[in-house]
Every structure is written in structure tokens, then in C-alpha cells.
Structure 1
Amino acid sequence: MWTRDYHRIEQAIRFIEDNVRRQPSLADVARYVGMSEFHFQRVFSRWAGVSPKKFLQFLTADYARRLLQESRSVLDVAYDLGLSGSARLHDLTVTLYAMTPGEIKAQGAALTIRYGVHPTPFGECLLALTPRGICGLRFIEPGAMREHADDLKDAWPDSRLVQDQTATGAMVQRLFGPASRSTESKGACPLVVRGTPFQIKVWEALLRIPSGHVVSYQHLARRAGLAGSTRAVGTAVGKNPVAYLIPCHRIIRSTGAFGEYRWGSLRKKVLLGWEAAHKEGP
């Protein structure tokens, strides 16, 4: 159901953007995605928690600019308090562990990475796990698992890859399932990544941006102590190996434009709209 709902939402938003000048009605959009107006409204509200009309307000440049202003102070507080490179995803504590080249070499083929493809509210994802934690999460198009598994092998060339839908499925349920928004504490969610010291610093900075907020590339660079390296920071953001959990989708341009996204610019809008809807409420 997740993937089917997401693709309908994505289709609808693309249709609205392509026809923005004539401002299509809800009935027009529903017809385009092959649903009745009533059914489309129900599916959309079930997925987003708000009506299509309200959701679209979160995708405007005006809303994005207001959110940039509001979010700047939120990020400043996080840095001024000296918070470590960790974040909260619902009631999971997300922590980042960077494997050194020496550790990676020492483990060699002894490092087993289990991976699987699963539906999420934002389309299919490939999730990869090491014994220490999540080392990869990427949104993929249907039928593209082999291509992304090969990319995973390139990223961890000395490891042993094992497809394991059971192990990865349990983690996907923790991250995206119905229980993911309960108030019950669910413990830690460690991330295991490999990258340059510069990339790690940027990814740790991304972890401090709360859901429902956005910051500009320039502000992220400045608060991460990398002022003057905005372009390089943008490159590091684009190399993020763990979508959603390291929230690179929360970086937008200072003009309010959403910008590009490794897993699709439209998916970025959908992610930000979904988070805004849950922050603002119905």
C-alpha cells in the first residue's frame, strides 16, 4: 500500500506542477491518477495527514522562505548547546559512527552487509545493515535493486553482501511502520558510514536539523565551521549514503527553491511536504 500510495501522490504533484498556470481542480488531479475525487482525497489524507490543498501550500517558495527563517534559529540553538552528532527520529536516537580506513581494511571480507528492498511511505528503498548499524538507505525505482546493490558493493568493496529481507524488513518497520510514531521509546538507531573527515563533518551537521525544518547550504556551512566552503559542503550533502536518516533533503537554496536531490527532486518535495504536514498538523 505504501508504494502504491506514494506513486499516486508523486504523479499528482507532478501533474499539478506541469499545469500550474491553469490551476487544475481536485477532480482534474484525481482523474489524472485514475481515481475518483472522493477516493483520491481519502488516499492523500491517509498518506499525508492533511488535505491535498493544505499539502500543496507546504511546497511553495513562500512557505520555504518562511521556514528557512524559522529554522535558522533552531539550528543555531542546536550548535550553541554543543549537541553531538546525533538526532531524534520519532523516539529513535540516531547516532553516526564513522569507520576509519584502517578499521575497514582490518575487517575486510569479515564485514557482512545484509540488504533488502522494501516499500516505504516515500517509495521503495534499499536498506543495508552491518552488525554495528545501518550503512546505507537509498530510495530506488521499481526493478532497480541489482543496480543499487552493485553500487553498495562498490562503496564497501571488501565486504560480503547478503540479501536478507527478514533482517532489513524488521528495521524498515522500526523506521517507517505504524509503531514508528508511538510515544514508546525504541532505543538507538546507529549509522555506520565511510567518508572523508570533511564529509563526516557535514553529515553530522545534517543530523542536527529537526524534522519539519530546513536550512540553506550557506547556513549549514557556516554553523558547521566550514564557511567559505559552501560548494564543497553541497557536494558532501549530495554524497550522503543514508537517505532520510541523515536528512540531506532538509537543505534548500536560500531563495526558497527546493533544489536537487540525489533520489529525485520531486521526492525531495514530497519528503519536505510530508514532514511539514506532520509538524503543522491538519
Structure 2
Amino acid sequence: MTADYARVERAIKFIETNFIRQPPLAEIAASVGLSEFHFQRLFRRWAGVSPKRFLQYLTAGYARELLRQSRSVLDVAFEAGLTGSGRLHDLTVNIHAASPGELKERGAGLIIRYGTHPTPFGNCLLAATSRGICALRFIPSGDVGEVLGTLQGEWENACFAEDFEATGGLAERIFSTTVGGSAKPGLALHVRGTNFQVRVWEALLRVPPGAALTYGELALRAGAPGAARAVGTAVGQNPVAYLIPCHRVIRNSGVLGEYRWGAARKKAMLGWEAAHRTG
């Protein structure tokens, strides 16, 4: 899946660069070194839909309709006080914020276990304390050292231990696409953030896959109407990609916007979720 995603991301970037002249499928396929036939097969294996159908999910028109359709779904989710109902496999996610003492000590006394793992959206660094997942970060450049170094700087007094076995089980639960059946056990997140940031992240957990909202709507649902700019900053500082689904926040105009881990990856996530929802 990771190898497939690398080509899908390159294809999305090629389309973004050349969208004005609407390149045919054969040209898009050639841009990632594949024939049209093999590109179609790869794309269906990754997304479950054709490239043409997938790209329909990334248009501003579709995004505006998605915002409109999502509002009633979000009303129900927020009124019910749901926390993380929106996993493709019914996985619940709950936030445990670092205590003031932990913030001051910057991780002193904590053991953080980490590992790198493949996902449908590229390789990620996954890290967890005894209280929950503290980081999920994609590795855009392929250099895990840079991503790990940033994390170590945030928890500078913690003890870091590479543990693929421990984090591998978490990665499998997070990115499983099994639908239906009994609900899987929930996941806990152990995050560092201000009270305001945590409120924004908790609001994001209530946005189910296949739904989206604007920064203004997120501000309202986080109890901070009129603070869309501050909410946008909190979204950008989300330490746990995908699980805290900041990729589901888009502009009111239908423009999907930027993303900490790359605009193409955000488009891939939104299109992938839309494909699974409609499929």
C-alpha cells in the first residue's frame, strides 16, 4: 500500500500542476512511469475506485456539496457527545491531555516507544507512552531521523525506545479498513497542548470519515465562535495525524487547503475516505 501511495501522490501532484489543460489518463499514468492499464489497476487497488471517480471527490464543487451534506451528520454527532465515532472500522478514540506537571517536566519519567510503519498514505512514525499514542506523523522526505528529532525535542526529557512490536499493533488497528462486525477496542491519545488546543482536537474527533467542516464551523463546535484563525493554528499543531482528523477541515469555498503533511496527502485522505464511504 505504501508503494502504491507514493505513485498516487505523484499523480495527484501532476494533476494539480496541469489541471488547466485536463491531461488524459494515459499522460497521468506516464508521469508516474506506468502504462494506462497498470495505473488503473494500481489506483483501484489503493482507492477502490477509478482515477476519474476519485478525482471527482477532489473538486471544489464536490467539496461544497460535502460541507452541505455533513452539517446534519455533525449536528447528530455533537449533540450525542460522541468522542471519535468516526473510524472506518468503528474504532473510538479518546484524548488524555498531559497534566500541567507533565508539560512543565517535558516528559521526564516517561518512556516513549516508537516505530515506523507503512500506511495507505505513506510511511509514518508512531509513538506512544503508557497512557496512549502521543504522536502519529507522516515522513514526507523519507528521513525518519528528522521527524523523530522533532518529536524528541517536544518531549525532551523522556526516554525514547524503538519498539516495532508495540507500535505495529497500534498501526494495524488504526489503519484497518474492516467495516462492520463488533466494535473494536478504543484507542487513547496522550497529547501535549493548551486547553484551547485540546478542545479543538476533541471537536475534530467527532467528525466522521466522509464528512467535512470549515474552520469557522469547527470554531463554533469547539466553543470558540469567531476564533477561526486561532482554531486553524490549533489544527496545524495537531500531534496525531489521521486519528485526530484535521484533514477533514476545508475552506468554505470548497478549496481543500493546506496540510501539515502535504496538500497532496490531504487530498488523498479525503478522496480515499469518500471512496470507502460511497463504496
Same fold by TM-score greater than 0.5: yes
Measured after TM superposition, the shift of residue 134 of structure 1 is: 0.7
Alignment-derived partner of residue 95 in structure 2: 96
Are positions 1:256 and 2:250 aligned together?
Answer: no
Alignment-derived partner of residue 128 in structure 1: 127
Alignment-derived partner of residue 53 in structure 1: 52
Letter in 1 for 2:97: A
Structure 1 residue ranges without an equivalent (≥5): none
Separation in 2, partners of 1:107, 1:260: 29
Separation in 2, partners of 1:160, 1:239: 23
Post-superposition Cα deviations, 1:3-25, rounded to whole Å, max 9, x if no partner, equal 21001101111112212122211
Post-superposition Cα deviations, 1:223-267, rounded to whole Å, max 9, x if no partner, equal 221002111011001100000000000000111111111111111
Alignment-derived partner of residue 69 in structure 2: 70
* Structure 1 segment 5-20 matched on structure 2, within 5 A: 5-20=4-19
State the TM-score, normalizing by the size of structure 2.
0.94
Separation in 2, partners of 1:44, 1:143: 22
Separation in 2, partners of 1:16, 1:108: 43
Question: Equivalent residue of 1:192, what SS?
Answer: strand
Measured after TM superposition, the shift of residue 141 of structure 1 is: 2.3
Measured after TM superposition, the shift of residue 142 of structure 1 is: 4.5
Alignment-derived partner of residue 201 in structure 2: 203
Separation in 1, partners of 2:90, 2:82: 17
Alignment-derived partner of residue 41 in structure 1: 40
Separation in 2, partners of 1:4, 1:85: 33
Separation in 2, partners of 1:263, 1:153: 18
Measured after TM superposition, the shift of residue 84 of structure 1 is: 4.6
Structure 2 residue ranges without an equivalent (≥5): none
Alignment-derived partner of residue 150 in structure 1: 149
* Cα contact 2:83–2:92 (8 A) shared by 1: no
Deviates more, 1:137-146 or 1:205-214: 137-146
Pick one of 263, 266, 277 that aligns with 1:265: 263
Measured after TM superposition, the shift of residue 214 of structure 1 is: 0.5
* Cα contact 2:140–2:261 (8 A) shared by 1: no
Measured after TM superposition, the shift of residue 189 of structure 1 is: 0.8
1:42–1:102 distance in 2 versus 1, CA, 3 Å: same
Post-superposition Cα deviations, 1:59-107, rounded to whole Å, max 9, x if no partner, equal 00000000011112221222223x0543342132111111212245579
Pick one of 216, 241, 244 that aligns with 1:243: 241
* Cα contact 1:250–1:272 (8 A) shared by 2: yes
Measured after TM superposition, the shift of residue 157 of structure 1 is: 1.9
Separation in 1, partners of 2:198, 2:214: 18
Alignment-derived partner of residue 110 in structure 2: 111
Alignment-derived partner of residue 24 in structure 2: 25
Separation in 2, partners of 1:100, 1:69: 38
Are positions 1:229 and 2:227 aligned together?
Answer: yes
- RMSD (CA atoms): 1.7
* Cα contact 1:116–1:127 (8 A) shared by 2: yes
* Cα contact 1:124–1:139 (8 A) shared by 2: yes
Deviates more, 1:255-264 or 1:17-26: 17-26
Identity of aligned residues (%): 59
Higher strand share: 1
1:20–1:30 distance in 2 versus 1, CA, 3 Å: same
* Cα contact 2:105–2:157 (8 A) shared by 1: no
* Cα contact 2:84–2:207 (8 A) shared by 1: no
* Cα contact 1:87–1:95 (8 A) shared by 2: no
Measured after TM superposition, the shift of residue 184 of structure 1 is: 4.0
Aligned length in residues: 278
